[in-house]
Structure 1
Amino acid sequence: MQLAVKSGVFGGEVTPDRRDASQPPERVLGRVIACDGSRATILSAVSTGNWLAGDAWAIGRMVSINLGRSRIVALVYRVHAVEAAWTDTADNPIQVEVEFLGEVQESPDGATRFQNGITSYPPIGAVAHRIRAGDLALVHDLGERGGVVVGQITQDASIPAAVNIESMLSRHFALLGTTGVGKSSAVALLLRKAVSVRPRLRVLILDPHNEYSSAFPDLALTIDGDALDLPFWMFKQEELADIVFRGRPTLDDEPDILREVVAAARARYRTASAPDPARDLGASLLLKRPLDLAGGRMSGPETVPEAHDAPTPYRLKDVFKVIDEFIGLHEQRWPRVALRSLKVRLESLHADPRYRFMFGRANMYETMAPILGQIFRIPLHGRPITAFQLGGLPGEVVNAVASVLSRLAFELAMASEGAIEVLVLCEEAHRYVPADPQLGFAPTRQAIARIAKEGRKYGAYLGVVTQRPGELDPTILSQCSTIFAMRLANERDQQIIRSAISDASASTIAFLSSIGNREAIAFGEGVATTMRMRFASLAPHELPAMGGRGAPEEAPRFDPTLDDLMRRMRA
Structure 2
Amino acid sequence: MSIRNEKLNIGQVVSVDGAAITLEATQLRVSLEGGEEVHITVGSFVNCGGGHGDVLCVVTRAWQELVERIDPQSKGHRVLTDVKKVELVVVGTITQGFRRGVDHLPPVGSAAYFITGEAFDALLDSALNEESKNRLFPLGTRVGTGKGVARFDLNKFFGRHAAVLGTTGSGKSYTVASLAQAILKSYARPRLVIFDIHNEYGPAFQGEFSDRSSCIGWSDFHLPFWLLTFDEFVDVFTGGVLGSNQKVFLSTHLLALRQEFLGVSTKLEAEKISVDTPICFEWDELISRLEAQLEGITAKAEREPLLKVVEKMKSRRRDPRFSFLFEAGNSRQSMTIFFEKVFGLGESDVHATVLDLSGLPAEVRATAIGILCRLFFDYRYWDSSAENLPVALVLEEAHAYIPAESDAKYAIAVEAIERIAKEGRKYGLSLVVVSQRPANVSPTILSQCGTFVALRLTSDIDQARVLRLLPDTLGNQAGLLSSLRDGEAVVSGDGVTLPGRVLFDMPSPKPGSSDVSFHKAWTDGPPAEYTIAGVVERWLDQSRK
One-letter code of the match for 1:568? Answer: R
**What corresponds to 1:121 in structure 2?**
106
Change (3 A) 1:362 1:397: farther
**What corresponds to 1:267 in structure 2?**
256
Any conservation in 2 of the 1:400–1:444 contact (CA below 8 Å)? yes
**What corresponds to 1:420 in structure 2?**
389
Change (3 A) 1:174 1:215: same
One-letter code of the match for 1:42? Answer: L
One-letter code of the match for 1:38? Answer: A
Structure 2 counterpart of 1:485, from 434, 441, 454: 454
**What corresponds to 1:143 in structure 2?**
128
CA distance in 2, matches of 1:390, 1:321: 31
Structure 2 counterpart of 1:234, from 202, 218, 227: 227
Deviation (angstroms), 1:113? 4.8
**What corresponds to 2:77 in structure 1?**
none
**What corresponds to 1:535 in structure 2?**
504
Change (3 A) 1:139 1:365: same
Indicate whether 1:225 and 2:218 are aligned: yes
One-letter code of the match for 1:220? Answer: S
Deviation (angstroms), 1:156? 5.1
Matches within 5 A, 1:227-376: 227-246=220-239, 253=243, 257=246, 260-261=249-250, 263-268=252-257, 270-271=259-260, 307-332=274-299, 335-363=302-330, 367-376=334-343
Structure 2 counterpart of 1:168, from 139, 157, 164: 157
Change (3 A) 1:58 1:374: same
- How many percent identity over aligned positions? 26
Any conservation in 1 of the 2:192–2:393 contact (CA below 8 Å)? yes
CA distance in 2, matches of 1:402, 1:410: 12
Any conservation in 2 of the 1:140–1:161 contact (CA below 8 Å)? no
Change (3 A) 1:316 1:134: closer
One-letter code of the match for 2:281? Answer: Y
One-letter code of the match for 1:230? Answer: L
Structure 1 counterpart of 2:179, from 190, 198, 211: 190
Deviation (angstroms), 1:348? 2.5
**What corresponds to 2:18 in structure 1?**
37
Any conservation in 1 of the 2:215–2:354 contact (CA below 8 Å)? yes
Structure 1 counterpart of 2:430, from 455, 461, 470: 461
Deviation (angstroms), 1:137? 2.5
Deviation (angstroms), 1:55? 5.4
Aligned positions, number = 503
One-letter code of the match for 2:422? Answer: K
- Residues 93-102 or 231-240, more deviating: 93-102
Indicate whether 1:97 and 2:99 are aligned: no
**What corresponds to 1:180 in structure 2?**
169
Structure 2 counterpart of 1:564, from 516, 534, 541: 534
CA distance in 2, matches of 1:325, 1:507: 70
Change (3 A) 1:194 1:17: closer
Change (3 A) 1:259 1:465: farther
Structure 1 counterpart of 2:479, from 502, 510, 520: 510
CA distance in 1, matches of 2:241, 2:193: 37
Matches within 5 A, 1:393-412: 393-412=360-379
Indicate whether 1:76 and 2:59 are aligned: yes
CA distance in 2, matches of 1:536, 1:560: 35
Deviations 1:108-142 (A, max 9, x none): xxxx7545426352434x55453344443257657
CA distance in 1, matches of 2:373, 2:281: 22
Deviation (angstroms), 1:567? 1.9
Indicate whether 1:204 and 2:174 are aligned: no
| Structure 1 spans left out of the alignment, 5+ residues | 1-15, 20-26, 85-89, 106-111, 277-296
Change (3 A) 1:557 1:365: farther
CA distance in 1, matches of 2:467, 2:300: 57
Deviation (angstroms), 1:165? 0.6
Any conservation in 1 of the 2:280–2:330 contact (CA below 8 Å)? yes
Change (3 A) 1:415 1:120: closer
One-letter code of the match for 1:467? Answer: Q
Any conservation in 1 of the 2:24–2:85 contact (CA below 8 Å)? yes
Deviation (angstroms), 1:493? 2.6
Any conservation in 1 of the 2:38–2:145 contact (CA below 8 Å)? no
CA distance in 2, matches of 1:33, 1:440: 57
- Residues 57-66 or 344-353, more deviating: 57-66
Deviations 1:183-212 (A, max 9, x none): 222222222333455555422211111121
CA distance in 2, matches of 1:363, 1:272: 10
**What corresponds to 1:108 in structure 2?**
none
Any conservation in 1 of the 2:225–2:326 contact (CA below 8 Å)? yes
Deviation (angstroms), 1:499? 2.8
Structure 2 counterpart of 1:388, from 347, 355, 373: 355
Deviations 1:465-496 (A, max 9, x none): 11222222222122222222222233333333
Deviations 1:35-64 (A, max 9, x none): 32322233458999x99xx95242222234
2:432 is paired with a residue whose SS is strand
Structure (1 or 2) with the larger CA radius of gyration: 1
One-letter code of the match for 1:420? Answer: L
Structure 1 counterpart of 2:114, from 130, 135, 144: 130
Deviation (angstroms), 1:391? 1.0
Deviation (angstroms), 1:360? 3.8
Deviation (angstroms), 1:368? 1.2
Any conservation in 2 of the 1:312–1:367 contact (CA below 8 Å)? no
Any conservation in 2 of the 1:43–1:93 contact (CA below 8 Å)? yes
CA distance in 1, matches of 2:295, 2:61: 79
Any conservation in 1 of the 2:167–2:457 contact (CA below 8 Å)? yes
CA distance in 2, matches of 1:151, 1:168: 15
One-letter code of the match for 2:88? Answer: V
2:483 is paired with a residue whose SS is coil
Deviations 1:200-241 (A, max 9, x none): 542221111112112123132122331022121112222222
Deviation (angstroms), 1:414? 2.6
- Aligned Cα RMSD in Å? 4.0
Deviations 1:317-339 (A, max 9, x none): 22322332233224449643334
Deviations 1:425-463 (A, max 9, x none): 111222332222336522222221222222222222222
**What corresponds to 2:71 in structure 1?**
none
**What corresponds to 2:72 in structure 1?**
none
Change (3 A) 1:318 1:548: farther
CA distance in 2, matches of 1:121, 1:265: 68
**What corresponds to 1:294 in structure 2?**
none
One-letter code of the match for 1:77? Answer: T
CA distance in 1, matches of 2:25, 2:377: 56
